[in-house]
Amino acid sequence: MSVPALELKDLRKSFGRTEIIRGANLSVQAGERVAVIGPNGAGKSTLFNLISGRFPATSGEVLLHGQRIDGKKPFEINRLGLSRSFQITNIFPKLSVFENLRCGVLWSLGYRYTFLKFLADLDDANERAEQLLHMIKLERKRDVLAMNLTYAEQRALEIGITIAGGASVILLDEPTAGMSKSETKRFIDLIKEVTVGKTLLTVEHDMGVVFGLADKIAVVVYGEVIAFDTPDRVRANQRVQEAYLGSSVADAQAGGH
């Protein structure tokens, strides 16, 4: 089997004396779309924070395409090809949609570049920002200030910024939270389109989104990944049903989502 795009090995994180992540293991192949699910407080966001370098792990390893990234800074991890959305907080409200995308592109070039190289790259950055604008279907909002977009449009812009640097591994935290049903459906399609060929991890509560988006589901319970498999197999997994999923799936199948 090829080198996993992302791998967690016996990852642990304690806050004070409380161990929140308790030996998490996960191996995600390149191109897989993975939904991370689990009860409230199970440690899903903490896992994302460990992977993206926001928190240091207490022990264990995180590997991106076989390279250790635990202990690195978030921006270093980003430049190695892993990008995480921070919901709408990394949008500049007083810049236009286009300018926001261009900032995302330029930022990802980083300061490896000299100023002259930077100037030479501006044309490329403009072109890439136009491309992204098209991908997230906000062409008609090109020059609108981000603060004047609808909520769903802001979330789309957020995805555009997240993928701007061409990262191969994308982490999205509840990408459809706060959206209506029809917006959610459109948004799932958008996420699928813009992440073709990439590895995607989402934290998700909405079972409709999980089953619509994910090739595989990672079930996190009490700081451990207790199952990692296709949606059908996870749905049938006795341990998962007992621990968590049974009632949610029943709800989803009954049209509760």
Ligand X SMILES: Nc1ncnc2c1ncn2[C@@H]1O[C@H](COP(=O)(O)OP(=O)(O)OP(=O)(O)O)[C@@H](O)[C@H]1O
- Residue numbers at the binding site for ligand X (CB under 6 A): 15, 20, 38, 40-46
Cβ of residue 46: shortest distance to ligand X, in angstroms? 3
Q: H-type helices in 195-229, by residue range? A: 207-213
- Nearest approach, Cβ of residue 111 and ligand X (Å): 29
CB 243 to ligand X: min, Å: 13
**43 vs 81, which CB is nearer to ligand X?**
43
Only one residue has tokens 């980083």, namely 110
* Closer CB to ligand X, 41 or 66, in the complex: 41
Q: Which residues contact 247 (CB under 8 A, 6 or more apart)?
A: none
CB nearer to ligand X: pick between 26 and 190: 26
Token digits for 70?
């635990």
Q: Which is nearer to ligand X, 18 or 238 (CB)?
A: 18
Residues constituting the chain: 257
Q: Report how far residue 115's alpha carbon sits from residue 180's, in angstroms, rounded to the nearest whole number.
A: 44
Closest of 190, 124, 178 to residue 152, by C-alpha? 178
- Decide: 210 and 184 in contact? Cβ < 8 Å: no
